[in-house]
Structure 1
Amino acid sequence: MVNVILAIVLLICLITDIKSRKILNIVTLPTIIFGLFFYFFTTGVDGFLYSGKGLLVGLSLLLIPYLLGGMGAGDVKLMAAIGSLMGSSFVFYSFIYTALIGGAIALILIIKKNGFINIIKSTFFNVVFFRSNLGSMIIAKDKKGSISFPYGVAIVLGTLCTLVWGVF
């Protein structure tokens, strides 16, 4: 039953994040509450603690990137909801898959925007002349030149990878 709820929540969040770049509170907050109550009523206090620990781990994994302005609050709440439903171990491995998938998506977008040859030339120039600003070719200083994408896509794909393949 929890896997079905998770799949529905992931599908809704994927659609809304792609369409409007938002992960809605109307989806994540009831999911968090459902996870806490479901485990409390099925396994008692131990279940509540299991769900609560997953909630806290999911929340804490993306809290720093959110505070630094790297992602929206909806992404953080989605990871907390996943933790509430599936527990701390699951949400941690889901985060690992999510980070790998998000990094791959970001790399593809950077290469698409800047061109592969330009990135190789810039990296070669920076290494040969010992320039210390290697990050400047990836992280834009202005919002106009920055690259962003709906991170909920990476969260959904990372969570699905964890569901399908489990832990490493």
Structure 2
Amino acid sequence: MAYWGAAVLIGCALLTDIRSMRIPNMLCAAAFVIALLYGGIASGGEGLLASLIGAVAGIAPMLAMYAARGIGAGDVKLFGALGAWLGTQQVLNVMLYSILYAGAIGLLLMAACRMWGWPERLLNREGYADVDPEQRRRPVRFPFMLAVAPAAITCWYML
């Protein structure tokens, strides 16, 4: 059941992150509360404690990436909610694979931007023709959920 809760959370976050480059606070908060309730009901105090520890394990490393401006605050909260659903080991696995997938996606996007220039225009959602070359060198952003979703699938496939 916990994997289904995490899958629903990831699916909803993927849709909103692709559409608006944001993960709603209400989504993360609701998923977190439901995960705590599920942990408490399914396994009592031990389950509730495991959910809380998983949430901390999801938030703590992501705060460092947020401080380095590598991800948004919604991603930090998302991993806290995922940690509450999945527990410490699984959320760390999803996190590791997410970072690896994000690195691969970033490298592909950088190469495509250098070769053709079109992904930058699409990803930054701004005009391209009127921009001077120095402004074109801004970092290319993409929804982190494009890396989190395949990372979760990879982790669950390996179970």
RMSD between aligned alpha carbons? 1.8
TM-score (norm 1): 0.78
- Alpha carbons 1:54, 1:87 under 8 Å: kept: yes
Q: TM-score, normalised by structure 2?
A: 0.82
Residue aligning to 2:140: 147
* Gap runs ≥5 in structure 2: 117-133
- Contact in 2 for aligned 1:66/1:73 (Cα 8 Å): yes
Distance 1:143 1:60 in 2: 33
Q: For residue 122 of structure 1, what is the aligned residue in structure 2?
A: none
Q: Within 2, Cα distance between the matches of 1:98 and 1:161?
A: 10
- The aligned runs of 1:56-95 (5 Å cut-off) are 56-95=56-95
Listed as ranges, the gaps of 5+ residues in structure 1 are 117-140
- Which amino acid counterpart does residue 145 of structure 1 have in structure 2? R
Q: CA deviation at 1:115?
A: 3.1
Instruction: Tell me the CA shift for residue 111 of structure 1.
Output: 0.7
Larger radius of gyration: 1
Match of 2:156 in 1: 163
Equivalent-residue separation in structure 2 for 1:156 and 1:27 (angstroms): 16
Distance 1:46 1:20, change over 3 A: same
Checking the alignment, whether the CA contact within 8 Å between 1:79 and 1:155 is kept in structure 2 is no
